[in-house]
Amino acid sequence: MPPPIPDRFRGAARAMSAGAICATAARLDCEEAAIRAVIAVESRGGFDSSSRPVILFERHYFHRLTHGRFDTLAPGISHARPGGYGPRNLQYDRLADAMELDRAAALRSASWGAFQIMGDNCEICGFPNTEEFVAAMCEGDDAHLAAFAAFVESSELAIALRRHDWAAFARGYNGPAYRRNRYDEKLATAYARERMPPVRTLAMGARGDAVRALQRRLALRVDGVFGPVTRAAVCAFQKAHALSADGIAGPKTWNALRG
């Protein structure tokens, strides 16, 4: 019996383990910045404020998987054309409506987690069924990362990721219509930003993209706010690298993070 999906999809929502991206980059023989770029473009973080994996419900997937039989009854969640997503905070409401019509197809019709992997791709990510895939997505960012690595390997996209061939990667990862949403351009921009994060001194109270870059490198939940959790992680990193543990991310700390 597959593990049950947590009630209302609120699982452990564990933050990514320290060194997890580094290990996955070694597995895929690519740069950490390339993996972080995918996260930045796809989600900017794997969980929402309610500890649920970030999702996007795709009505055209649901239409295809259910052979259009709900198009007239529920055109908002079953339609031949992509789009009609609505606000991010209503995606679980759309998913719930679809689950009442066809649970299996609904779970397969949403993209899940930090890397926004479609439930329909659960098997090539190493899961026997969608229920187990979704249960894992509720557990934590490490599961999102593992599913991404398996997807990239199964889809033979590691070479494109390694070579920073963003057009080839986006074609395989986001589909043939990737240019319409400029995924290749967004990935290239995110990679450049992740590879060379802004050297800016950050301390308690700081906000913005520089803080997000810092949090990603420390394997923290990314919210762009330099609060007590971020400061504690900076102190721990500084101690581990023989730096003054003042909790302030200055040039020396950034240099160590880049190394």
In three-state form (DSSP H/G/I as H, E/B as E, the rest C), the secondary structure along the chain is CCCCCCHHHCCCCECCCCCHHHHHHHHHCCCHHHHHHHHHHHCCCCECCCCCECEEECHHHHHHHCCCCCCCCCCCCCCCCCCCCCCHHHHHHHHHHHHHHCHHHHHHCEEECCCCEEHHHCHHHCCCCHHHHHHHHCCEHHHHHHHHHHHHHHCCCHHHHHHCCHHHHHHHHHCCCHHHHCHHHHHHHHHHHHHCCCCCCECCCCECHHHHHHHHHCCCCCCCECCHHHHHHHHHHHHHCCCCCCCCECHHHHHHHHC
Q: What per-residue confidence (pLDDT) applies to 106?
A: 98
What distance, in Å, lies between the first and last C-alpha atoms of the chain? 44
Contacts of 100 (CB under 8 A, 6+ apart): none
Alpha-carbon distance of 10 to 4, in angstroms, equals 12
Q: What per-residue confidence (pLDDT) applies to 248?
A: 96
> Which domain does 11 fall in, by range?
7-54+113-195
Alpha-carbon distance of 203 to 247, in angstroms, equals 7
Residue 122 lies in a domain: yes
Q: What per-residue confidence (pLDDT) applies to 146?
A: 97
Q: Please tell me whether residues 183 and 236 are part of one structural domain.
A: no
Positions of the chain with pLDDT under 70: 1-2, 196-199, 259
Q: What per-residue confidence (pLDDT) applies to 118?
A: 97
Residue 77 lies in a domain: no
Q: What per-residue confidence (pLDDT) applies to 1?
A: 57
Q: Please tell me whether residues 142 and 18 are part of one structural domain.
A: yes
Residue 155 lies in a domain: yes
Residue 171 lies in a domain: yes
Alpha-carbon distance of 256 to 55, in angstroms, equals 34
Q: What per-residue confidence (pLDDT) applies to 96?
A: 97
Domain boundary among 166, 195, 224: 195
Number of domains in the chain: 2
Residue 247's region, left for phi above 0, alpha for psi from -120 to 50, else beta, is left
Q: What per-residue confidence (pLDDT) applies to 7?
A: 83
Q: What per-residue confidence (pLDDT) applies to 259?
A: 61
Instruction: Please give the single-letter amino acid code of residue 41.
Output: V
The answer to whether the pTM exceeds 0.75 is yes
Per residue in 137-186, pLDDT tens? 999 999 999 999 999 999 999 999 999 999 999 999 999 989 999 999 99
Alpha-carbon distance of 132 to 106, in angstroms, equals 14
Q: Please tell me whether residues 128 and 226 are part of one structural domain.
A: no
